[in-house]
Amino acid sequence: MEITTALTADVLVIGFGKGGKTAAHVLAEAGRRVVMVERSENMYGGTCPNVGCVPTKMLVHYADAKRLGDDAQEFFAHSIAGVRALTSAFRTGNFEALNGRDTATVITGTARFVDPYTVAVGEGRDLVTVTAPTILVNTGSEPVIPPIPGLASSPHLVSSTELTRTQNLPERLVVLGGGYLGLEFAGIYRHFGTEVTVLEAADRLLPREDEDIAETVREILTGDGIRVITGAKVTEVRDSGAVSTVVYEKDGRTHSVEASALLPATGRRPVTDGLRLDAAGVRTAPNGAIVVDEYLRSSQPHIYALGDVNGGEQFTYISLDDARIVLDQFLGEGKRTTTDRRAVPHTLFITPPLATVGLTESQARAQGLNIRVSREKVADIVAMPRAYTVEETRGVMKFVVDSDTDLVLGAALLSIDAQEIVNTVALAMRHHITATQLRDAIYTHPSSTEALNEVFDKVLP
């Protein structure tokens, strides 16, 4: 093995995702010598700005702006061009911001462990080794292709990454899976003009949410023209020229639907293949995730895992919080852990978005809690004129409140601006602000947050 370059660093970061780059910036600013290894020049900054949050939410914006008279294919191609321009600018900015620091170096290539403190990047004369006493692994996750006969070999199989980059609008999109990713892309492409079918194996959409919320989501999606089929077990994909035939079973009968594009949206798995974690003595779970403790330390205490690769919730803001926990080990008091997280919100970016936090009504009742439930349709909320001014009155707001303490236990907000309102609710939950205080607070007008002035009084019978 011919080594042309051998580097040493205080901290080695493998993967340019949110957690890794945040830690790298802070540590470099603190004077630590940092080396960042990223396997692809197309992924500087990680999944979110390149193929995840940013391009998909930008496509949601473009799709919602499409007018009836716009040519679907031309409008879509223009939208993808806009996405490409923005993500390219973000990649360049992420690279230059880190590599431009005196104490940081970015290396592009695939890292593999040689021993617990050293990784190799590249081959032959391009081989670089990096040795560091502290290593952060932030390699993210990748889509899982389910083992359905004919799916993996289908020429019409597409990934979410490909859908954010191709300029050809598919005529018929079949989405396998009705989770966050699947429903977001279903909404995006339907609004662009694609015929969309969602095949979900569960008996209903969003089984973790209350049934009334899930049913309202379904009504909105089907109202937009999306065909939603639940209880559908896909058994085979058959290819024939320009289309694929997706065969599925439902209620004991066999059905089929044709697709010019097939999107599996059945989950993601940690990216650890090729890292040679065995050479570092790092223990992994059956799904490949790096096993960590509450401080995000692996079985090798000097090796940390941040973001999706550690098997936790797959959200950019969780990766960011992972960075805070790790940085507290190096620069703080070393007290922050994953157990400190409370009231973590989530958002499904359909139109309008669904944002949730805390317990559902079903979960609270299953725990035997003494609760009251406040619920109101957006169209009926007098204190929320913003919904009418932007012509989006679909949806519902629902809160679960502890009857004994008046504290908010959970919320499901299916409405315009829900992704923003939920942050206020989550903050209130973390700091023990009561439902009454939220109801009586002063909010700007017209805004969506002022709906809280009214909804907390709408108690279900």
Q: Are 47 and 79 in contact (CB under 8 A)?
A: no
Is residue 155 assigned to a domain?
A: no
Average pLDDT of the chain? Answer: 94
* Percent of the chain clearing pLDDT 90 (strictly above): 86
Cβ contacts of residue 319 below 8 Å, gap of 6+? 17, 18, 19, 46, 138, 306, 307, 308
CATH number of the domain residue 394 falls in: 3.30.390.30
Residue 181 annotated as part of some ligand binding site: yes
**Are 314 and 351 members of one domain?**
no
Q: Is 128 helix (H, G, I), strand (E, B) or coil?
A: strand
Is residue 218 assigned to a domain?
A: yes
Domain finish residue from 313, 340, 367: 340
- pTM beyond 0.85: the answer is yes
Residue 406 annotated as part of some ligand binding site: no
Question: Of 63-67, 130-134, 174-178, 301-305, which range is least confident?
Answer: 63-67
Residue 267 annotated as part of some ligand binding site: yes
pLDDT at 164: 85
**Are 13 and 130 members of one domain?**
yes
Q: Are 264 and 179 in contact (CB under 8 A)?
A: no
Please state, in angstroms and rounded to a whole number, the distance separating the CA atoms of residues 54 and 349.
12
pLDDT-based confidence at residue 265 (cuts at 50, 70, 90): very high
Q: Which ranges of 284-383 would DSSP assign to H, the alpha helix?
A: 316-331, 361-366
Parent domain of 170: 160-266
Residue 184 annotated as part of some ligand binding site: yes
pLDDT-based confidence at residue 460 (cuts at 50, 70, 90): low
Is residue 154 assigned to a domain?
A: no
Question: Hunting for tokens 């989530």 — which residue is that?
Answer: 346
Is residue 149 assigned to a domain?
A: no
Please state, in angstroms and rounded to a whole number, the distance separating the CA atoms of residues 42 and 393.
39
Residue 109 annotated as part of some ligand binding site: no
Position 22 pLDDT exceeds 70: yes
Domain finish residue from 299, 317, 340: 340
pLDDT tens readout for residues 204-226: 999 999 999 999 999 999 999 99
Question: Alpha-carbon dihedral of residues 300, 304, 309, 311, nearest 10 degrees?
Answer: 80
pLDDT tens readout for residues 324-352: 999 999 999 999 999 999 999 999 999 99
The answer, yes or no, to whether the previous bond of 446 is cis (omega within 30 of 0) is: yes
Strand partners, 134: 11
Q: Give the strand order in the sheet containing 195-200.
A: 227-230, 195-200, 172-176, 261-264
Q: Are 422 and 413 in contact (CB under 8 A)?
A: yes
Residue range 274-299: mean pLDDT, rounded: 97
Residue 180 annotated as part of some ligand binding site: yes
Residue 308 annotated as part of some ligand binding site: yes
Domain finish residue from 224, 249, 266: 266
Closest CA to 289 of 312, 309, 319, 316: 309
- Active-site positions read 445
Please state, in angstroms and rounded to a whole number, the distance separating the CA atoms of residues 314 and 181.
11
CATH number of the domain residue 312 falls in: 3.50.50.60
Position 49 pLDDT exceeds 90: no
pLDDT-based confidence at residue 40 (cuts at 50, 70, 90): confident
pLDDT tens readout for residues 380-431: 999 999 999 999 999 999 999 999 999 999 999 999 999 999 999 999 999 9
What are the tokens at 216? 């309202």
